[in-house]
Structure formats: structure tokens, C-alpha cells
Amino acid sequence: MIPADVSSLAIRAALGLFFASSGYHKLFVPEVSAKVDGLFARLGVPPVQRRLVKWGEFLGGLGLLAGVLTQPAALGLLIITVGAICLDCWQDVVAKRPRDAFDWIAKAIYLPETLLCLLLLVLLIQGPGLLAGSALLTRLFGIPLI
């Protein structure tokens, strides 16, 4: 086991818990689902995409937690998170009226969604590591998984 495997596990666990719990609430808690649907409707997101985002967060988070299909899950979650930044979060940055280029950068990086994107990029590049379900399945059955 090397440090990259441990860091992949920590990142997968944190992001997996975040996205799985967030997606779960958006899917199965009526008040949260209604609130998110209202936001999506105001942003012009079609109903089919709303469901895809909710299920994508939930299933992608579970995939990260299990360490199975980590890179496809990270890619899907990255797309969802970039969409959130473009549709909703960027307005907060603009509203704060950054003074110069460095202030723009600081305010953009300060967004939690930006940091989520950076961590998802790490998983895309680094992969799930040896402490993942896919590595175990590969060792047991000889079937390479992502």
C-alpha cells in the first residue's frame, strides 16, 4: 500500500458520502426533492435532467464509496458539479464584484463546488487505488475494472 492508495480511499470516502447523501435527500426526502425541483425549474433544467442529476449524485456517490467504476462515477459527478457552478454558483461570485483577476480566482476557488471538482479530477487522474472494490474484484476474479 502506498500513500496514493490511502489518499484515493480518503477522497473516495469523503466525496462518496457527500454525493450519496446529497443524492439520497434529493431523491427520497419530499421537502428536499421539491425544493431542488423548484430551483431546477427556475434555472430551466428539464424534468428528465433533474432526475438524472439526482440519480447521478446518488449512484455516483455509492460508486465512489464502493470503489467500483470510480473514474466513470467521478466523471459523471464532475459534469454535474460543473453544471451546478455554471447554472447557480457562479452568480454568487459575480454578485461579490471581484476587484481584479486575483480576486476573481480567489472567489471562484472559494466555492465548495470548485473544490469538489478538483478532488473529482484527482480521482479521474489517480484512479481508485488498491483499497477499492474494483481492485479486490480484479484480484479475486482476474477481471480488470476501472
Provide the pLDDT for residue 1.
61
Provide the pLDDT for residue 146.
64
What band does 3 get if pLDDT is binned at 50, 70 and 90?
confident
The residue that leads in pLDDT, 61 or 92, is 61
Nearest C-alpha neighbor of 130 from the set 4, 16, 12: 4
Nearest C-alpha neighbor of 80 from the set 38, 23, 136: 23
What DSSP assignment string belongs to 41-76? HHHT--HHHHHHHHHHHHHHHHHHHHTSSHHHHHHH
The H-or-E segment that residue 143 falls in is none
Provide the pLDDT for residue 57.
98
Burial (CB count within 10 angstroms: exposed 0-12, middle 13-18, buried 19+), residue 49: middle
Model confidence, pTM: 0.89
Give yes or no for residue 79 having a pLDDT over 70.
yes
